């Protein structure tokens, strides 16, 4: 019995060591900044379980190395860092998670910090006593009619281009789509002397919104009118309704164009090629055609 007891005691520290090395600190996001301490020269892993974009203050520079991949953020401080706030933005919904980091020198023999798993706040189920009151409250505060998708997409695109990252309203289900770099927009608004270039695009429930940069090429100011746009569009909105003369600070703006069932490229008027490809088609000789008519 003594031998068995000693063996158990000897195995206990090893099991504890394994448990500590694999431990993960769980933090719940409740719309309050999460404190993430760091040790200089040690990497700390943050598991978010969602694709995020990391907003890092420019003054940190090379003092903090930040990497993000597949819902996991890797933080490594190269020197001490005073309390600083990082922003993690969900790449799909736009929701923000705030992290307050601070990096210090680790003391000799001090154990490394545990990795962190961040989970969203779970909604609490109402108790049976409060369930009737909750249902009555829900009936009294029914949500307003849903915002039309083109309107929601336009607002989301404008916020992504002009508003600070922290103020972008989440839009569930929206995702960014690639824009063809060589997309020709010469026929988008041919009646005005403007240059058009696609900047970015987003998609939601069968609708696309494309942000198009418009710049004035003439020395005179221009009034913009969405009715001058040519193409199969659902809606069109300008960030500004007037363009200043070329060279003026107000010479450019952005147009938000929404389309249905396909992107902007398939909604434009067809472009006529300067080369007539039909000239390369084979046609029957005239003489052979006349001889066949005579034989009949």
Query: Count of CB atoms within 10 A of residue 110's CB?
Result: 10
Q: Dump pLDDT digits (tens) for 146-155.
A: 789 999 999 9
Rounded CA separation 39/36 (Å)? 10
Q: Are 117 and 27 in contact (CB under 8 A)?
A: yes
- Give the model's pLDDT for residue 137: 55
State mean pLDDT over 94-107.
85
Q: Dump pLDDT digits (tens) for 260-278.
A: 999 999 999 875 555 555 5
Domains of the chain in start order, with CATH, are 23-120 (2.60.40.1080), 149-266 (no CATH)
Task: Indicate if the pLDDT at residue 236 is higher than 90.
Answer: yes
DSSP 25-42: EEEEESSSPEEEEEEBT-
Task: Indicate if the pLDDT at residue 217 is higher than 90.
Answer: yes
State mean pLDDT over 244-254.
94
Task: Indicate if the pLDDT at residue 242 is higher than 90.
Answer: yes
Rg (CA), the chain: 31
Of 82-96, 161-175, 181-195, 272-286, highest mean pLDDT: 181-195
Q: Which two tokens mark 269? A: 């008027």
State mean pLDDT over 84-106.
85
CA 110-114-116 angle, 5° bins:
150
pTM, rounded to two decimals: 0.49
């Amino acid at each position: 019995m003594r031998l068995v007891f000693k063996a158990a005691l000897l195995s206990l520290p090893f099991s504890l060591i394994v448990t500590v090395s694999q431990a993960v600190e769980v933090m719940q996001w409740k719309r309050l900044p999460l404190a993430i301490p760091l040790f200089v020269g040690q990497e700390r892993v943050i598991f978010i379980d969602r694709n995020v974009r990391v907003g890092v203050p420019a003054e940190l520079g090379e003092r903090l190395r930040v990497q993000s991949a597949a819902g996991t953020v890797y933080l490594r401080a190269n020197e001490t860092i005073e309390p600083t706030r990082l922003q993690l933005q969900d790449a799909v919904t736009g929701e923000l998670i705030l992290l307050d980091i601070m990096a210090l020198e680790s003391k000799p023999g001090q154990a490394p910090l545990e990795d962190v798993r961040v989970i969203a706040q779970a909604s609490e189920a109402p108790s049976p006593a409060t369930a009737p009151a909750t249902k009555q409250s829900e009936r009294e505060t029914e949500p307003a009619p849903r915002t039309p998708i083109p309107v929601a997409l336009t607002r989301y695109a404008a916020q992504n281009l002009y508003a600070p990252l922290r103020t972008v309203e989440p839009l569930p289900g929206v995702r960014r789509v690639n824009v063809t770099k060589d997309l020709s927009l010469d026929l988008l608004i041919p009646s005005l002397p403007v240059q058009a270039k696609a900047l970015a695009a987003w998609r939601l429930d069968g609708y696309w919104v494309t942000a198009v940069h418009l710049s004035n090429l003439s020395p005179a100011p221009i009034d913009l009118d969405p009715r001058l746009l040519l193409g199969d569009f659902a809606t069109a909105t300008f960030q500004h309704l007037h363009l200043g003369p070329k060279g003026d600070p107000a010479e450019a703006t952005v147009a938000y164009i929404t389309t249905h069932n396909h992107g902007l490229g398939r909604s434009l008027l067809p472009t006529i090629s300067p080369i007539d490809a039909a000239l390369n088609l084979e046609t029957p000789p005239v003489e052979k055609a006349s001889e066949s008519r005579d034989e009949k």
